[in-house]
Amino acid sequence: MPLLDVLVSNVVSCGDDYVDSSLAAEESSKAAAQLPKDLNDALTNEKCQLPQLSKEVAEDEAEVILHTKSKGDVRIKFFPKLAL
């Protein structure tokens, strides 16, 4: 393969890498900008259900109490139906 073809091939490959990384950075930036909006929507939406944050244990949930010496009891909720 002539040297010129190798150089052109390398330049094209590097250009593709640059474009790919630029697109990935742009998508990441958009996702990072959207995250606070999504979080605010989830926290202020009255219809949003977050069972992991409630103190009650529903029939389809399980609870384990982890006893610690220095921090007291830690209650952990499990969701067996979702774990399948």
pLDDT tens, residue by residue, 9-56 = 555 455 566 667 778 888 888 888 888 988 888 788 888 778 888 889
Per-residue confidence (pLDDT) for residue 8, from 0 to 100: 46
C-beta of residue 81 within 8 angstroms of C-beta of residue 75: no
The predicted structure's pLDDT at residue 9: 56
**How far are the Cα atoms of 74, 76, 77, 79 from residue 64, in angstroms, in the given order?**
8, 5, 6, 11
Give tens-digit pLDDT for 49-81: 788 888 899 999 999 999 999 999 999 999 988
pLDDT number for residue 76:
93
- Cα separation, 43 vs 50, in Å, equals 9
